[in-house]
């Protein structure tokens, strides 16, 4: 497998997100249906996010650029460039406080 520049890919996805009506763009960088581990690069423009949803498995978010808020129930966690957030197993949402790119790593449930 060739090395992937997450910085370059994040920049490209932020451009796509800015042009998208949803303010979001995503690209799988590793994994897929045949793998237990999946890594997805997500770009979100300020004020957009992912509505509350279930987690498909154990997961983390690595904030590559920007500032995001992860929330679940009554709790929330702030993440800025370089921060690693553990995604709760309960329903959760992700909001971009400013233009942001995150690497979502998920180990799918069997």
**What are the beta bridge partners of residue 43?**
25, 101
Residue range 2-51, pLDDT digits in tens = 899 999 999 999 999 999 999 999 999 998 778 889 999 999 999 999 99
The pLDDT value recorded for residue 50 is 93
Residue range 64-108, pLDDT digits in tens = 999 999 999 999 999 999 999 999 989 999 999 999 999 999 998
The pLDDT value recorded for residue 27 is 95
The pLDDT value recorded for residue 9 is 96
Neighbouring residues of 78: CB distance < 8 A, sequence distance ≥ 6 = 67, 68, 69, 97
The pLDDT value recorded for residue 1 is 66
Burial of 71 (0-12, 13-18, 19+ CB in 10 A): middle
The pLDDT value recorded for residue 62 is 98
The pLDDT value recorded for residue 7 is 94
Instruction: Give the whole-angstrom CA distance, residue 23 versus residue 82.
Output: 22
β pairing state of 37-44 and 24-30: antiparallel
pLDDT-based confidence at residue 57 (cuts at 50, 70, 90):
confident
Instruction: Give the whole-angstrom CA distance, residue 65 versus residue 43.
Output: 9
């Amino acid at each position: 497998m060739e090395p992937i520049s997450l910085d370059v890919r994040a920049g490209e996805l932020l451009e796509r997100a800015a042009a998208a009506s949803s303010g979001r763009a995503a690209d799988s960088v590793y994994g897929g249906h045949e793998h237990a581990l999946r890594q997805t690069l997500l770009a979100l423009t300020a004020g957009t996010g992912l509505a509350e949803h279930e987690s498909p498995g154990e997961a983390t978010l690595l904030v590559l650029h920007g500032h995001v808020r992860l929330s679940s129930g009554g709790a929330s966690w702030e993440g800025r460039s370089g921060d690693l957030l553990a995604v709760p197993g309960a329903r959760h949402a992700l909001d971009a406080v400013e233009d942001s790119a995150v690497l979502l790593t998920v180990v799918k449930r069997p």
